[in-house]
Amino acid sequence: MRELFLRKLKMYSAVFAVLKNWMGSWANMPGFTEDYNALGKFISDINAKDQVVKDSLLVSEEKKQRFSDMIDLALEVCGAGSAYANKIKDHALALSFDFTRTSLEAGNDTVVCARCRDIAEAAQPIQEALVNYNLPIGQADMLLTAIAAAESLIAAPHVAIKGRKSVLVELDQLYDDCDSLLRRQLDREMLTFARSQPGFYTEYTTAREIGGWGSGGTKDTGGEVKKEGK
């Protein structure tokens, strides 16, 4: 469906560009001017809402990356912490760092963050000693920062998905309304120029086909463009 919408938007933009280039031919026609402005508004609104959809898709990717960064830091701390604890023969301390990637990632997001926080807090008092085990000073603090970043995004994908569904409904309506504007108004108004301005009319009709529109992804039924599968 997204590919279908993108092809539609490409066609809308091409039509708008043609109308703009031939503005001198219709500038004194109030009705045509109103429809031109309406088409521009539809394109602007569609682009704005499409950006919202793109941004919402990035939220899940950002969360995934934040958790990956947190786990990587936690494993580095665990490696150095385990080596130090074994060196001083502190069994209890060693257990604080006894994690593999699989065991760190087990459980829900809140549990994973809490587990990483325990690791960071166990490492903080011995940060200077861990430098001797290839762990840069301040790494435990960096882990706490990474945990906070991950925790801030735990609910974000759910909120983004809910918002995206709403925007997609609005986008669907915008496309339907724009199709109606073209079919019921601009297409008919352009017939005025079929003989008086054939170059304008030809460019317009060609733009209406850009992106493969009118074939393949659509059906022409009695002059009305309908979506496949609807």
Nearest CA-CA partner of 67 in 139, 159, 151: 151
Count how many Cα atoms sit within 13 Å of the Cα of residue 34 in the half-sphere of its side chain: 6
Nearest residue to 39 via CA among 204, 191, 193 = 204
Half-sphere exposure of 133 (CA within 13 A, CB side): 20
| Per-residue pLDDT at 157 | 54
Q: Please report the pLDDT score of residue 4 as a whole number.
A: 76
The residues, ordered by sequence, that sit 6+ positions from 88 with a Cβ below 8 Å of its Cβ are none
pLDDT in single tens digits along all 230 residues of the chain: 667 788 899 999 999 999 999 999 999 999 999 999 999 999 999 998 888 777 776 777 888 889 999 999 999 999 999 999 999 999 999 999 999 999 999 999 999 999 999 999 999 999 999 999 999 998 999 999 999 989 888 866 555 556 667 788 888 899 999 999 999 999 999 999 999 999 999 999 999 998 665 533 344 333 333 333 33
Amino acid at 84: Y
Dist. CA 212–CA 176, nearest whole Å: 18
Judge contact between 181 and 12, C-beta under 8 A.
no
* Inter-CA distances, 142 with 111, 148, 173, Å: 19, 10, 46
